[in-house]
Amino acid sequence: MSTDRDTTRIVRSWLRTDEHESADRVLDAVLDQLDTTPQRRVTWWPVRRFPEMNTTVKLALAAAAVVVAALLGIRFLVPGSQNVGGPAETPTPSATPVAFPQPTALAPGTYFWDVGTASPVRFAFTVPDGWTNRNDIIRKDHGGSGEVALGVWIVTNTYADPCQWRESLLDPPVGPTVEDLATALLDQVGRNASPPTDVAVGGYPATRIELSVPADLDIATCDNGYYRDWLQEGELHSRNPDLDSVDPSNVLFRSGQVNVVYILDVEGARIVVNTWHMPGSSEANLAELEAILSSVSIEP
């Protein structure tokens, strides 16, 4: 009959849209079952004859079944729906670095020192929970016995004696190469130092040296009451000592502190990555410091 054909055509037209092509197979299966499967009766029902269903009724029932199946499918397949068979995949967080907030505790994530602040290149790095930023130095347990820290500098000159620094600024200034700076730091008076080693930071060759402040040194006896190893770009030699007494974040050295210094040549720019820790720094804190260093990438 034409009504049968029209119903079939409408149902199949609906099914053949992009969203419902897979449900077309469901219609075929339902129609096959309606045509070939005998109606079963539960034995305890009263036996009663029912008229044969015509083709139009069959198609209507089939269409209803397909619509229900399609709606259920859409529920589980559209974005944001529950995922049958397991939990939905968690989106991977973006690794795009963001600029340092100043000053603040750092949420876990990837950050960068911007061009023109600490260095002429961009240093990106990833920090875990519990780290803070102050004056472009990232630290954990700041001022405590387990402090660990990391910063980036452009060093323009050094002091022969980091304790009595007022009269010991190198003149002429330290030379321009990585080796020049490493030699000047290793020659400083009163510092315990390890021999230089060749390593890599952010994919660039680096010279690593380890320097420590004597554990028995009373830093209060040093010039202006603080210890000073080098001048960074833009820093004045006659630094105001009141800043250190007011703001502890400006105190960069304490007795027994160990500095592991990495000196790099990045596209002709000499960059210093300076890390430090205290004798009481935990293995966990030291591991986090190493992980941050390992995460560094450099964009000239």
What number is the average pLDDT over the span 3-31? 50
> Can you say whether the dihedral through the CA atoms of 131, 134, 135, 139 is positive or negative?
negative
Residues 241 and 129 in one domain: yes
Q: How many domains does the chain have?
A: 2
Task: Categorize the per-residue pLDDT at 39 as very low, low, confident or very high, splitting at 50, 70 and 90.
Answer: very low
123/117 Cα distance (integer angstroms) = 11
| Residue 24: domain span | 2-77
Whether the per-residue pLDDT at 30 is higher than 80: the answer is no
Residues 70 and 103 in one domain: no
Kindly report, residue by residue over 210-231, the tens digit of the pLDDT.
Answer: 999 999 999 999 998 889 999 8
Residues 149 and 13 in one domain: no
Task: Categorize the per-residue pLDDT at 31 as very low, low, confident or very high, splitting at 50, 70 and 90.
Answer: very low
Query: What is the reported pLDDT for 29?
Result: 52
Q: Report which of residues 138 and 252 the model is more confident about.
A: 138
Residue 140 backbone dihedrals phi, psi, to 5 degrees: -135, 140
191/71 Cα distance (integer angstroms) = 75
- Per-residue H/E/C for the chain: CHHHHHHHHHHHHHHCCHHHHHHHHHHHHHHHHHHHCCCCCCCCCCCCCCCCCCHHHHHHHHHHHHHHHHHHHHHHHCCCCCCCCCCCCCCCCCCCCEECCCCEEECCEEEEECECCCECCEEEEEECCCEEEECCEEEECCCCCCCEEEEEECEEEEECCCCCCCCCECCCCCCCCHHHHHHHHHCCCCCEECCCEEEEECCEEEEEEEEECCCCCCHHHCHHHCCCCEEECCCCCCCCCHHHHHCHHHCCCCCCCEEEEEEEEECCEEEEEEEEECCCCCHHHHHHHHHHHHHCEEEC
What number is the average pLDDT over the span 97-112? 81
Residues 148 and 282 in one domain: yes
List the beta bridge partners of residue 276.
Answer: 149, 259
Residues 55 and 102 in one domain: no
Q: Report which of residues 76 and 70 the model is more confident about.
A: 70
What number is the average pLDDT over the span 143-157? 92
Residue ending a domain, among 77, 110, 130, is 77
pTM of the model: 0.65
Kindly report, residue by residue over 186-201, the tens digit of the pLDDT.
Answer: 999 999 999 999 999 9
Task: Categorize the per-residue pLDDT at 100 as very low, low, confident or very high, splitting at 50, 70 and 90.
Answer: low
Q: What tokens were used for 16?
A: 């053949």
Whether the per-residue pLDDT at 81 is higher than 80: the answer is no
Q: How many CB atoms are closer than 10 A to CB 162?
A: 25
Residues 192 and 63 in one domain: no
The verdict on residue 167 lying in a domain is yes
Task: Categorize the per-residue pLDDT at 85 as very low, low, confident or very high, splitting at 50, 70 and 90.
Answer: very low
Query: Residues of the chain with pLDDT > 70: what percent?
Result: 60
Q: What tokens were used for 68?
A: 């229900």
Q: What tokens were used for 18?
A: 């992009």
Q: Report which of residues 92 and 153 the model is more confident about.
A: 153
Query: What is the reported pLDDT for 284?
Result: 96
Contact 150, 274 (CB under 8 A): yes
Query: What is the reported pLDDT for 196?
Result: 96
Tell me the pLDDT of the chain averaged across its residues. 74
Query: What is the reported pLDDT for 241?
Result: 53
Query: What is the reported pLDDT for 239?
Result: 60
Contact 132, 104 (CB under 8 A): yes
Residues 70 and 102 in one domain: no
Q: Which of 34-48, 78-92, 266-280 has the highest mean pLDDT?
A: 266-280
